[in-house]
């Protein structure tokens, strides 16, 4: 055991000499990809040319970070949930044997589907910071949702950085939500939009999904009325003129039974906190279905339609925790965090400035 420890120490020293960085500098660099509250507890590792892993710092939370590889052009540091370690070890050693990136991913996916490598758990985060150099590096985030599809989530699958959030590799064990850039603020509208409930409601949705969304509203009794039948799995609601300000929102159709329940409870003059309490109890009792991991909600809000922005997006992750996802439970500087952790209402908040 002492010989193994000594060998590892020697390898770290050799790697540090080759890169010109100390271990402390590598650790400081690697954790920059994370929200600040998660940095102190993250493990930090690096891989050698043969694909073998060396631990630079043992952490206390569920996140693992890697410093930039100085042999690769540009700058990139990455952090991920510890569940990914077995898959990553496999990938690195396969890549070191001379396999192309496409061959590595194909082989790994087959191993995961065969149960020979662990399947990602829904909600596990990836944090990336990359660019031409460290000074210009920008953040990207990903949320693992194995086998998720556009239909199951209510997410677009086309790469559109103006929206900022979309689903990649849908239907595979590598399916994940990409979170990058800043979504556009106030959606484009013309003068006729303001008086059209359908047109204003779908502005909350990603542009690629608006034409196919179902649009509904609810009356004072909590009864649901379809204003337009859609062709995809998004449902949108226009602003309620009886409430202050402007809010339109859209959600994956799996949320309908929960919304129906809430509207009926609210129509009986219950306050918002009581509505949520009764809904949580109904879900726990099996009276209404549990949210499915990855189901999306989109919110367009402001003082009025004229200044409303699409700032809030929500991904449902029932019973998720900081440990299971690698997310902070308080609002982070980059606007992505886990709310109501450990409950059936747990969800990722994605907020933009």
Cross-strand bridge partners of residue 66: 78
Sequence-distant (6+) residues with CB within 8 A of 106 are none
Nearest to 18 by CA among 71, 97, 92, 93: 71
- DSSP states along 129-196: EEESSGGG-EEEEEEE-TT--HHHHT---S--TTT-EEEESTTSTT-EEEEES---SSPP--TTGGG-
Residue 88 CB neighbour total at 10 angstroms: 19
What is the sign, positive or negative, of the torsion defined by CA atoms of 23, 84, 129, 91?
positive
- Average pLDDT of the chain is 89
Give Cα separations from 74 to 33, 106, 136, 248 (angstroms).
15, 26, 10, 42
140 by Cβ neighbours in 10 Å (0-12 / 13-18 / 19+) ranks as middle
pTM of the model: 0.87
Task: Please write the tens of the pLDDT for every residue from 63-82.
Answer: 999 999 998 999 999 999 99
Task: Please write the tens of the pLDDT for every residue from 254-295.
Answer: 999 999 999 999 998 878 899 989 998 999 999 999 999 999
pLDDT in the model for residue 20: 76
Sequence-distant (6+) residues with CB within 8 A of 351 are 311, 312, 313, 331, 335, 336
CA dist 43 and 305 (Å) reads 46
Residues 235, 186: contact at Cβ < 8 Å?
no
Q: Residue range 7-30: average pLDDT?
A: 68
Question: Which tokens belong to 19?
Answer: 């890169």
pLDDT band at 19; cut points 50, 70, 90: low
């Amino acid at each position: 055991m002492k010989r193994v420890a000594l060998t590892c120490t020697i390898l770290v020293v050799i790697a540090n000499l080759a890169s010109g960085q100390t271990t402390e500098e590598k650790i400081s660099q690697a954790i920059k990809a994370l929200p600040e509250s998660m940095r102190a507890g993250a493990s930090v590792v690096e891989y050698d040319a043969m694909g073998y892993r060396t631990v630079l710092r043992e952490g206390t939370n569920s996140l693992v970070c890697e410093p930039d590889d100085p042999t690769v052009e540009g700058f990139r540091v990455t952090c991920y949930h510890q569940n990914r370690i077995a898959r990553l070890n496999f990938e690195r050693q396969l890549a070191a044997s001379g396999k192309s990136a496409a061959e590595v991913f194909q082989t790994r996916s087959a191993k995961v589907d065969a149960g020979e490598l662990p399947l990602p758990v829904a909600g596990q985060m990836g944090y990336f910071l990359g660019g031409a150099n460290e000074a210009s590096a920008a953040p990207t985030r990903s949320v693992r949702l194995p086998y998720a599809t556009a239909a199951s989530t209510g997410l677009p699958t086309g790469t559109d950085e103006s929206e900022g959030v979309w689903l990649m590799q849908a239907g595979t064990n590598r399916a994940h939500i990409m979170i990058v850039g800043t979504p556009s603020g106030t959606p484009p509208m013309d003068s006729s939009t303001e008086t059209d409930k359908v047109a204003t409601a779908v502005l909350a949705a990603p542009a690629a999904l608006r034409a196919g969304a179902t649009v509904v509203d609810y009356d004072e009794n909590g009864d649901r009325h379809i204003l337009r039948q859609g062709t995809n799995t998004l449902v949108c609601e226009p602003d309620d003129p009886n409430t202050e300000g402007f809010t339109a929102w859209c959600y994956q159709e799996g949320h309908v039974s929960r919304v129906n329940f809430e509207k009926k409870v609210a129509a009986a003059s219950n306050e918002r906190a009581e509505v949520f309490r009764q809904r949580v109890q109904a879900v726990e009792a099996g009276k209404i279905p549990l949210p499915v991991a990855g189901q999306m909600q989109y919110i367009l809000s402001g003082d009025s339609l004229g200044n409303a922005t699409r700032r809030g997006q929500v991904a449902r992750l029932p019973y998720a925790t900081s440990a299971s996802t690698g997310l902070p439970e308080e609002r982070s500087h980059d606007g992505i965090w886990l709310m109501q952790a450990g409950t059936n209402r747990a969800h990722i908040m994605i907020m933009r400035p």
